[in-house]
A and B are shown apart, each in its own frame.
Chain A
Amino acid sequence: MSNQIIEVKNIGKKYNIAHQRGKYIALRDVLTNILKSPFHFLVKKTKAIAGLASKEEFWALKNVSFTVERGEVIGIIGRNGAGKSTLLKILSQITPPTEGEIILNGRVGSLLEVGTGFHPELTGRENIFLNGAILGMTRKEIARKFDQIVEFSGVEKFLDTPVKYYSSGMSVRLAFSVAAHLEPDILIIDEVLAVGDAEFQKKCLGKMDEITKKEGRTVLFVSHNIDAVKSLCTKTMLLDKGEIKIFGPTEKVVEYYFNKINTLNSITTYDEEKNNDAQINKISILNSQERPAAQIGINEPFYIEVEYEIKNPIGQAVLSLEIYSITGELLLFTTENDKTGELRKYETGKYHARIVIPSFLFNVGNYYFNASVVNPNVEYFDLKRNINFEILNIDNNKNKILKGNNWGKIATMLDYSVKKIS
């Protein structure tokens, strides 16, 4: 028998843009849209049937092939939207690939987010069983490892307390302990270490080290924590725009990654692709001196510029930005007409928009955004994803107060009027 435990052949995953980021469709909106502009709807439908409609799809993964040997620990890194999570989701069978084939020689356990299925009303003890079952352990297995799990989590005293009374740190610890005691042949881990206090993180890393080195299990590890990847993984894969950019020894890949980030272009241009009603051609990030830069000091305002073209008149749309933290949390959904509250009637032509991001809005750290011409909740006319920028710690007094920490994502300074009243 060969020693290959994972064999991925030409995997591709296609998404419908409308389905991205959990923007679901409301039947009500669909119906009112049809009633409001039946003509537009008819035109769209006929276009769709004739195959002329704008294809609102994009490939989250394309032509991904690789093999993993038994006992290897593979790191997967890349920018947000590079396809890391999609790859893990396919490997753990949460979502099927659109094309290609994967052969796994062993049981897969995934740990895509700790605490999946924790129920706040149930006690710690009950949640251990429930969570274990959800992660694929049998009742016997859980019972056998119960003591180990409890001991590792360090919440013995609160075992019979409902989890809703736990601090977030405690529930994360409990959840990780359950997951860490899974014994699949292939363990898939996504961003576990983004949570928990420093001490527990260390413990987790130690546990993962033990899992991989002593027990010789195969692990796929996705993280933004490059240090963790460096210390755990023998080989690393860099994904970019759904394709494998480089796959090899961790040192080499990480070095490549950092070089790439540093020269990261702050101007992104897009080829004209589809017969969309709207087309975003160029997105630039400019610093306060109006020079292109993807790294901006927290003390200066900066600009996001979007050049776009409206090819067919659009009845109702706005230009909009969705700004996310690096962990994928939507921080700000902003549109050009937030002040008036009305959608714009767009005529054909070329447009240029400049959005001012004030200084001290976002805290020090990495962010990314999507730009779109959109009728929110109804339709994307064009959507460009995952433009990164980084806010640097420059001339930041708050940072001094917080002793070098950058807590929170928003850095806005609020006015405090503090008076001594007695």
Chain B
Amino acid sequence: MEQIIIKPKKIFSWNDFKEVWQYRELLYFFAWRELKVRYKQTAIGISWAIFQPFVTMVVFSIFFGGLIKVPSDNIPYPIFVYVGLLIWQFFSASLSDASNSMVANQPIITKVYFPRLILPISTIITKFVDFAVSALILVGMMFYYHFTLHLVGMLILPLLILISFTAALGGGLILAAINVKYRDVRYVLPFFIQLLLYVTPVIYPASIAGKYSWILAINPMTGVIKAAQAAILGNAPINWLLLLISFTICLVILGSGVYIFKKTERFFADIL
């Protein structure tokens, strides 16, 4: 017979992580729900996932690439910016939706028990599907501009996605916890995410910053996006050190995210 003991909660225990695993089916259902709802009207759902990065790419190409002539390491600007955008949008959409995941699911949180961690995680999984759909355009663009993917490139992509996932989850957990307490934070969030885009080498190559490029390196997404550009476009060798730094920073963010989230988690149902 299964025995459950309820006590005033400690912040952490390994059981919490085991529990997330036990509830993986619910994790799947949450992700499934979101996808189902979004892709319900199939045409609109899929075309929106494609439309958004595509139009952004077109606009950026016209203004930054065409008119302002932002350098792109001698790579056609549209494909250069699209590689960055693809990863950036996965990251930013994951971050903002994960931050809102607690407040958005308030009715469930206040009524039913499950490890709260699975909400932000499932949100990001959904974003991954969008990412995969919009990656199709990249494949088309690679044919058009005659780029071929090297083996290293193929192998490194999952790693890059993993790092972005870590960063978005870590940041999302911190913000989700703050969001529960201060409900107006979510209104300023889009603004900050927008700002973050400009300190990430998406619309311009990192090389543009010259000797100040180390500042960009603090932003973990810099390493990821640079590596993605290097792997897919071959404009520079992959900077493994930078990538390692990014990964480490992401892990630290994730660690503190989980800590802060778990610390406030026990009050979620009381505050929400």
Known: A25-B182, A96-B266. A112 touches B112 (CB 8 A): yes
User: In the complex, A119→B107 CA distance in Å?
Assistant: 11
Q: Write the chain B residue with the least CB distance to A22.
A: B272
Whether the pair B266, A103 counts as a contact (CB closer than 8 A) is no
A225 contacts partner chain B, Cβ-Cβ < 8 Å: no
> Is A134 in contact with B266, judged by CB distance below 8 angstroms?
no
Report, as a range, how many residues of chain A touch the other chain.
35 or more
B38 to A, closest residue via Cβ: A121
Segment 59-114 of B: residues with Cβ below 8 Å from A:
107-114
Given contacts A92-B113, A103-B5, contact A139 B25 (CB under 8 A): yes
Contacts of A96 in B (CB 8 A): 6-9, 266
Using known A-B contacts A22-B272, A24-B183, determine if residue A106 contacts B2 with beta carbons closer than 8 Å.
Answer: yes
Question: Could you say which residues of chain B place their CB within 8 Å of the CB of A228?
Answer: none
A24-B112 in contact given A96-B8, A105-B3, A133-B26 (Cβ < 8 Å): no
Complex CA gap A263/B268 in Å reads 39
Once A15-B270, A28-B184, A130-B29 are accepted as A-B contacts, the answer to whether A103 and B3 lie under 8 Å apart by CB is: yes
Is the pair A116, B107 in contact by a Cβ cutoff of 8 Å? yes
Q: Is the CB of A119 within 8 A of B4?
A: no
A1 at the interface (CB under 8 A from B): yes
A105 to B2, CA, bound (A): 6
Given A104-B3, A119-B37, is A19 in contact with B271 using a C-beta cutoff of 8 Å? yes
B29 to A133, Cβ gap below 8 A? yes
From B183, which residue of chain A is reached at the shortest CB distance? A24
B150 at the interface (CB under 8 A from A): no
Query: CB < 8 Å: which of A27, A101, A117, A139 contacts B6?
Result: A101
Chain A residue contacts of B110, Cβ below 8 A: 94
Cα A200 to Cα B85 in complex, Å, equals 53
Beta-carbon contact of B1 and A105 below 8 Å? yes
Q: Kindly list chain B residues whose C-beta atoms are within 8 Å of the C-beta of A22.
A: 271-272
Contacts known (A103-B3, A110-B112); A95 close to B266, Cβ less than 8 A: yes
Interface status of A98 (Cβ within 8 A of chain B): yes
| Contact of B263 with A by CB under 8 A | no
Q: How far is the CA of A94 from the CA of B7 in the complex (A)?
A: 12
Residue ID in chain A nearest B1 by CB atoms: A105
B269 touches A24 (CB 8 A): no
> Contact size class for B?
35 or more
A94 to B269, Cβ gap below 8 A?
A: yes
Please give, as numbers and ranges, the residues of chain A lying within 8 Å of B181 by CB-CB distance.
24-25
In B240-270, the 8 Å CB interface with A consists of: 266-267, 269-270
**For residue A103, which residues in chain B have a CB less than 8 angstroms away from its CB?**
3-6
Q: Are A134's CB and B5's CB within 8 A?
A: no
Q: Would you call B1 and A94 a contact (CB within 8 A)?
A: no
Verify if B185 is at the interface (C-beta below 8 Å from A). yes
- Would you give the shortest CB distance from B240 to chain A, in whole angstroms? 40
A19 vs B182: C-alpha distance when bound (angstroms): 12
- CB atoms of A102 and B5 under 8 A apart: yes
* Chain A residues in 8 Å Cβ range of B180: 24
Q: Which residues of A contact B183 (CB under 8 A)?
A: 24-26
**Bound: A136/B28 CA distance, A:** 13
- Cα distance A99–B8 in the bound complex, in angstroms: 6
Chain A residues near B111 (CB-CB < 8 A): 94, 110, 112-113, 116
Complex Cα–Cα for A223 and B264 (A): 31
Tell me which residues across on chain B come within 8 A of A15, comparing CB atoms: 270
List residues of chain A with CB within 8 A of the CB of B26.
Answer: 133-134
A26-B183, A130-B29 are contacts. A93–B37 as well, Cβ < 8 Å? no
Q: Does A150 touch B at the CB level, under 8 Å?
A: no
Give the docked Cα–Cα distance between A93 and B268 (Å).
12
Chosen A-B contacts, 21 in total, with CB atoms closer than 8 Å, are A19-B271, A22-B272, A25-B181, A92-B113, A93-B6, A94-B109, A94-B110, A94-B111, A94-B113, A96-B7, A96-B266, A97-B8, A103-B3, A103-B5, A106-B4, A110-B111, A110-B112, A110-B113, A117-B107, A134-B26, A139-B25
| 4 A-B pairs closest in CB distance | A27-B182, A93-B113, A133-B29, A102-B6
| Residue ranges of A at the interface with B (Cβ–Cβ < 8 Å) | 1, 15-16, 19, 22, 24-28, 30, 89-108, 110, 112-113, 116-117, 119, 121-122, 126, 129-130, 133-136, 138-139
